[in-house]
Amino acid sequence: MTARAVGNAILGLSIVLGVCGSSQAQEAKPSQPAVKEAEGIKAPDNGFGRLIEGLRKHPVERSATNGLGRIYALDVATGEATLVADESVRGLSACGSPTWSHDGSRILFDAFPRGNPLLADMQRVELVAGVPTVTNIGAGNCPTFSVDDKRIAFMLGHAVEDAAPGVWLMQADGKGRRRLGDVGRPKWSPDGKQLMLIDASYPPEVTLMDVKSEKSARLELAGSRFYSTPSWAGSDTIVALIGTNGDGDRLALIDVSEPSKAKVKEVLWEVKEPINDVVDPVYSPSRRECVFIGVTKDGMALYSVAQSKPDAPKRLEPDAFDPMIWDLAFSPDGRYVLFGSTRADRKGR
């Protein structure tokens, strides 16, 4: 599975369902020694750290079936992955599009029945009396928090109770829904002023919408196209896979302060073997680091590259490859990366 194949759908999980079906996922043999948890590195004393520690102390129930889509959180400092959500125990087959609240107390994701990614409901994970609790907050895909965590933008893929498909806005509790515009995966900017909307084409068309005026402008990068799904890397900056010859070949930070005249600020890395394709890059300004899904002949894995350092990307989990990984999301504090995966159980997680 290449980035081109993954890029053909706005929801990575629609690809997962088509590829995995009901079969068991298989993992490639380890190519490097397994990462050991770093000694002396503690979880941060903030909402992010407390939520992850809660998930570790009260592990999420995992169904016995492999090959289904689950949500994990990777501690970038230690390389330890924690299971966040497995909705197959409640009769659903896959989860995707995870995102953090800015205070770290909540994780949102979508989940849906087999074969029906557009019939997804959005779910919220939070600690209630110290125990991770999942709450359904209504129909929709790809939720994204406003900077004050009071509103959620999301995509509705089909009509629900007289609600037309498109990009919608609601309160954080799921109430007060209203439609903003056409279909596209929304990502809220760090300053809260814009929504980046990514359509389902390949290469994707990217639009920036002013939240206040609800006016939109298509993102244009002279001589290049955007590939995979870009993410915000700061105010007026995104991280994206770009290219000129029908496929992405450079991972770069892009200045989008003028949408019609976007420009490359810095090339973080030029794609080369053994990584064939790059999917879903995310960037942490505090760490000055980009994490992405690398596609190799052995499978998919998470990699990182540091800004302004020419080193080759670093494998974050060198013990095994995954059949499929999708939908990365950096925590605002830069410590954790959420992702979806069909990986088999690893050490009980």
Work out the pLDDT band at 40, boundaries 50, 70, 90.
low
Residue written as token pair 């209504």: 138
Ranking 202-216, 248-262, 281-295 by mean pLDDT, the lowest is: 202-216
Cis, bond preceding 274 (omega within 30 deg of 0):
yes
Q: What's 160's DSSP letter?
A: B
| 5 φ, ψ (degrees, to nearest 5) | -65, -45
Is residue 325 scored above 90 in pLDDT? yes
User: Taking phi first (over 0 means left), then psi (-120 to 50 degrees means alpha), and beta for anything else, what does residue 243 get?
Assistant: beta
What is the percentage of the chain residues whose pLDDT exceeds 90? 67
The first and second tokens of residue 248, run together, are 């992405």
Cβ contact 4:203 at 8 Å? no
CA distance 69 to 86: 8
Is residue 29 scored above 60 in pLDDT? no
CA distance 343 to 334: 24
| 88 φ, ψ (degrees, to nearest 5) | -65, -20
Is residue 23 scored above 70 in pLDDT? no
Please report the pLDDT score of residue 246 as a whole number: 76
Is residue 3 scored above 50 in pLDDT? no
What is the percentage of the chain residues whose pLDDT exceeds 70? 87
Give me the domains of the chain, ranges plus CATH numbers. Answer: 3-341 (2.120.10.30)
Please report the pLDDT score of residue 300 as a whole number: 97
Work out the pLDDT band at 14, boundaries 50, 70, 90.
very low
Q: What is the pTM of this model?
A: 0.88
Cβ contact 96:11 at 8 Å? yes
Please report the pLDDT score of residue 93 as a whole number: 80
